């Protein structure tokens, strides 16, 4: 009798293709974006420190700081710095809103399905709306 070799997947493991077949609930998307926004803020920390340092050093350095958003630096255009600032604005707003959502759920023990959906919608809508408003100010005013 010949030995049959079968390849079975171990329980608890998942292939990458299988991971994309699941539809994540909105609360899960908000939770993942909370982590992504935290990583984005950490990655942009040198840019944040530079913004803070240059904007407060002197009036001349503040003028140079604002000119970066208009003229750019070297071969990097000004709109790129505006996009980086917009990513920073979104990451802060989303991280703040999602953090308040998590704190509220922890403090009030509001962990129901309905509240999770409503608070996730509010978190996404509020962070995107505020990002849009501040982005419009950044790009057009």
- CATH code assigned at 109: 1.20.1300.10
**What pLDDT was estimated at residue 8?**
62
Give, in order, the Cα–Cα distances in Å from 90 to each of 12, 60, 119, 123: 35, 28, 18, 12
**What pLDDT was estimated at residue 130?**
96
Residue 76 phi/psi, 5° resolution?
-85, 120
Q: What is the pTM of this model?
A: 0.78
Q: Which residues of the chain have pLDDT under 50?
A: none
67 assigned to some structural domain: yes
133 assigned to some structural domain: yes
> Could you tell me which residues are beta bridge partners of residue 73?
76
Contacts of 122 (CB under 8 A, 6+ apart): 101
99 assigned to some structural domain: yes
The structural domain count of the chain equals: 1
101 assigned to some structural domain: yes
8 assigned to some structural domain: no
Residue 73 phi/psi, 5° resolution?
-135, 120
**What pLDDT was estimated at residue 41?**
92
124 assigned to some structural domain: yes
**What pLDDT was estimated at residue 7?**
63
Handedness of CA 91, 94, 98, 103 (dihedral sign): positive
Radius of gyration of the chain (CA): 22
**What pLDDT was estimated at residue 37?**
95
The parent domain of residue 44 ranges over 25-140
29 assigned to some structural domain: yes
Cα 130 from Cα 122, distance rounded (Å): 12
105 assigned to some structural domain: yes
């Amino acid at each position: 009798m010949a030995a049959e070799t079968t390849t079975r997947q171990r329980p608890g493991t998942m292939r990458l293709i299988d991971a994309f077949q699941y539809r994540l609930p909105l609360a899960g998307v908000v939770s993942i974006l909370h982590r992504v926004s935290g990583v984005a803020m950490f990655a942009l920390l040198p840019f944040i420190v530079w913004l803070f340092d240059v904007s407060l050093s002197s009036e001349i350095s503040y003028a140079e700081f604002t000119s970066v958003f208009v003229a750019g630096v070297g071969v990097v255009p000004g709109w790129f710095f505006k996009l980086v600032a917009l990513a920073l604005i979104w990451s802060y707003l989303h991280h703040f809103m999602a953090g308040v959502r998590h704190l509220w759920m922890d403090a009030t023990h509001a962990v129901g399905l309905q509240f999770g959906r409503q608070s996730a919608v509010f978190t996404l809508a509020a962070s995107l709306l505020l990002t849009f408003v501040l982005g419009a100010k950044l790009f057009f005013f």
